[in-house]
Amino acid sequence: MNNLGNVLQDLGDLAGAKAAFERALRIDEAAYGVDHPDVATVVNNLGMVLQDLGDLAGAKAAFERALGIGEATLGKDHPNVAIRVNNLGLVLQDLGDLAGAKAAFERALGIFTKFLGPDHPNTRRVQDNLEALEREMGARRRVGRTRGGA
């Protein structure tokens, strides 16, 4: 059911993907309990589709839940935790919490660099996210100075 949700999301059927992830979540919670790493994967995927649907508050809550499960079961520095932290950073950026997003990206980057190295695709993806955020933050600072006068 989780894989079906991924395919539906890739096909652009966000409502169908959300329904599939919600069903997968009910199944996994019943089978494994609410704090299992497989539950965290589904909750993370649900967060991604919620973000795509524009439900940023729902996405943030999902990513925070997935992160909490991952930290409790896998440890604070596990690469799967870094995935959740990066996704949380993306939604924080969308919500306008740029400082929170930066902290999340820096944390995820540190974990990925430590465990996967600087050239791994996940490490590079987070590095790109951090660099894009820093450009956005720099642009906002420049606009702020311009608005303030000479």
Q: Do residues 73 and 37 make contact, with C-beta atoms less than 8 angstroms apart?
A: yes
pLDDT at position 48:
97
Nearest-Å Rg of the Cα atoms of the chain is: 17
Q: Do residues 38 and 82 make contact, with C-beta atoms less than 8 angstroms apart?
A: no
C-alpha–C-alpha distance, residues 65 and 130, integer Å: 22
| Cβ within 8 Å of residue 113, ≥6 positions away | 123
DSSP for 94-109 reads HHT-HHHHHHHHHHHH
Residue 72 has pLDDT above 70, yes or no: yes
Domains and CATH numbers, the chain: 1-74 (1.25.40.10), 76-150 (1.25.40)
Task: Provide the residue type at 141 as one letter.
Answer: R
pLDDT tens digits, residue range 28-65? Answer: 999 999 999 999 999 999 999 999 999 999 999 999 99
Share of the chain above pLDDT 70, in %: 95
pLDDT tens digits, residue range 74-113? Answer: 999 999 999 999 999 999 999 999 999 999 999 999 999 9
* The two structure tokens encoding residue 5: 């949700």
